[in-house]
A and B are shown apart, each in its own frame.
Chain A
């Protein structure tokens, strides 16, 4: 990153602004095109509008008033209505005028990047489902190793990182903090730690 110099006097504020902008864009992988950013905004606004419409409908199942005071449905209806209006305004304004793409710090992910991000999320989700069955040590060792591979680690580094992290964190949490972690299939072998 080329560093802006900060001159004297009246240009100082402009230079600082430029420095802030460039600091926000360190190692940026990609930039939004105006069209792409507009489409992404339309999609975001559409999802938000649809969600808020569902929320409004769902909030109708709660009483608006109970015994003369606001009921459990009062605030949700207020919030959902507000969100619906904002979603529609966002959608409408994006449709009428393309949002300004300059100064947007994050770009769109390309396909391989998106695959990596989705895979990382899938690994964490799988860990959540496997935690109680497989137990903490096995699940977290496998998950950490898989995440390391996604971050371009070698197989050896990934396995060592996974095993070391699982063992260290397990011992620290169970012995030092006194919090029990699920042992899963390893219970017969690690029951002495409980």
Chain B
């Protein structure tokens, strides 16, 4: 009941006109950037983060959260109308969303997606509120436990991120290396700064993320010099009663799947969205044949799962102070810039801010739902901007953003460096997500490892000294090795006839 009262207090704070305005602005900006083909929420958040720096902590974080959902929904628009998913988790939406658009039901698909997203986010927020008391329990964790939590989060991301374990691990360690630059978190000694004062605070996270995800994406786009595919017709917008009836169940089921999958650090959104898709296909008796050619359930389920997952990934950050996805790593960076420390201390020291932010998630999703329908035709105009105009504007915004964040032109060079790194890693089929995550996790890992070793007089076995840390470290080892072991086992097995046939098909 206390939790509920605090949530109501948070809602009261968010519903102040100023905060509502920032939530509205965040949703709009997130959607505008998220709609750019290939621009997922991480790039959208990184690009727009500098804008939030000019406002205070609460409106700033509210705005960032709004940018996140706006960016997520922007990806849905391109998935439905252009068959270009803004992020991997939107791929499931293209399976039925795009056929719906080709049948002249693009507007219906977008409204159902928006409603499904709202249901997903609402269920996700309820789950998050229920999980909030875990933050109090987390206060009793020691340095070794936090170290183990960070290692486990990292291991899950590496294990799930790519096809090559070595490349995934190397990528994660590159993130740690980037995080080494600056003052060391224990004694404050400058490291790898080359005497450049601008580097004492380390590389600016926004410039690195913008370069890794945004600039590298634009450079890949420059190779083809096209924005995307043909934009399908919007057609009628209002769903029928039958559409609503058919999408209600999938939205609820997708939300539950998304929430539980999202609790696992590093869990890919595709796991949630495709699980929801397959479940709906299996459950559907009357409309099973429509799947793949425009079933409304195939849009509602995955979209709900995706949004619920987006909220669930915030749980580890709010309760433990550990980011479990790239977007959360960016958000955590924003918390720090605004002078806040996400985690259990936030609930203890600034409960008003913590609950205002949670309440803002709910309000932001209502705004998104309300905004969506009247603005659908505006988004179509953005989708039709030709690449030769879009490319320089987006890169120009990145340059401006990098300068505004730190007030130094040197940050633009960080953007270029990160862009080159991201471009090369994409070409080598190396996942980018672990870098952004480990860049944030690095100082957490280092300070907790050092503190744990200091408290135990350098005894390394202290790291597995508590049941909690030992279990998490064991899980980390399993998470890293399991995909490789499974692949080896699969390779060792004789190929099934169906698989053999598929392998023969030309790609």
Contacts and interface: CB of A to CB of B under 8 A. Distances in A.
Real binding pair: yes
Interface of A: 1, 3-8, 12-16, 19-21, 23, 26-27, 29, 40-41, 44, 48, 55, 58, 62, 66, 68-72, 74-76, 79-80, 82-83, 86-87, 89-90, 93, 99-100, 102-106, 108-109, 113, 116-117, 120-121, 124-125, 127-129, 131-132, 136, 140, 143-148, 150-153, 157-158, 161-162, 165, 169, 173, 177-179, 181
Interface stretch (B65-73, B83-91, B255-263, B310-318): B83-91
Interface stretch (B179-187, B238-246, B343-351): B179-187
Contacts of A79: 173, 176-177, 180
Contacts of A150: 222, 391
Nearest to A66: B187
B164 A117 contact: no
Interface stretch (B5-13, B352-360, B403-411): B403-411
A162 B392 contact: yes
Given A23-B85, A75-B180, A90-B166, 20 more contacts: A1-B229, A14-B498, A27-B228, A40-B427, A70-B449, A70-B453, A72-B189, A90-B167, A99-B429, A113-B222, A117-B223, A121-B219, A140-B400, A144-B392, A144-B396, A150-B391, A152-B388, A165-B392, A173-B404, A181-B403
A102 B445 CA distance: 35
Interface stretch (B114-122, B289-297, B321-329, B375-383): B289-297
A124 B387 CA distance: 18
A70 B387 CA distance: 51
A104 B425 CA distance: 12
Given A5-B292, A106-B220, A151 B387 contact: yes
A121 B219 CA distance: 9
B327 to A, nearest CB: 20
Contact of B278 (A16, A93, A99, A120): A16
Contacts of A147: 391-392, 395-396
Candidate in B85, B270, B446 with the most chain A CB atoms within 10 angstroms: B446
A144 B393 contact: yes
A48 B173 CA distance: 11
Interface in B464-507: 498, 502, 507
7 contacts: A19-B91, A27-B228, A75-B180, A128-B416, A157-B388, A169-B400, A177-B54
Contact of B281 (A12, A136, A162): A12
Nearest to A11: B498
B220 to A, nearest CB: 7
A51 B101 CA distance: 49
Interface in B395-451: 395-397, 399-400, 403-404, 409-410, 412-413, 415-416, 419-420, 423-424, 426-430, 445-446, 449-450
A20 B88 CA distance: 8
A94 to B, nearest CB: 9
Contact of A177 (B51, B85, B278, B502): B51
Contacts of A102: 507
Contacts of A83: 170, 173-174, 177
B228 to A, nearest CB: 8
Interface of B: 51, 54, 83-85, 88, 91-92, 94-95, 98-99, 163-164, 166-167, 169-170, 173-174, 176-177, 180, 184, 186-187, 189, 191-192, 215, 219-220, 222-226, 228-229, 270, 274, 277-278, 281-282, 288-289, 291-293, 387-389, 391-393, 395-397, 399-400, 403-404, 409-410, 412-413, 415-416, 419-420, 423-424, 426-430, 445-446, 449-450, 453-454, 457-458, 498, 502, 507
Contacts of A4: 292
Contact of A29 (B224, B277, B387, B498): B224
A76 B428 CA distance: 26
Contacts of A145: 392
Contacts of B457: 68
Candidate in B83, B95, B189, B293 with the most chain A CB atoms within 10 angstroms: B95
A5 B85 CA distance: 17
Nearest to B386: A153
A165 B404 contact: no
A17 to B, nearest CB: 9
A62 B395 CA distance: 38
Contact of A161 (B222, B223, B226, B392): B392
Nearest to A102: B507
A16 B426 contact: no
Given A113-B223, A148-B388, A162-B392, A74 B450 contact: yes
B446 A75 contact: yes
B389 A148 contact: yes
A1 B240 CA distance: 30
Nearest to B396: A144
Contacts of A144: 392-393, 395-396
B405 to A, nearest CB: 10
Given A58-B192, A83-B174, A106 B426 contact: yes
B308 to A, nearest CB: 20
Contacts of B169: 86
The 6 closest A-B pairs by CB, nearest first: A6-B292, A153-B388, A128-B412, A147-B392, A72-B189, A72-B184
B393 A165 contact: yes
A55 B170 CA distance: 14
A71 B54 contact: no
Contact of A69 (B174, B186, B404, B409): B186
B392 A125 contact: no
B189 A62 contact: yes
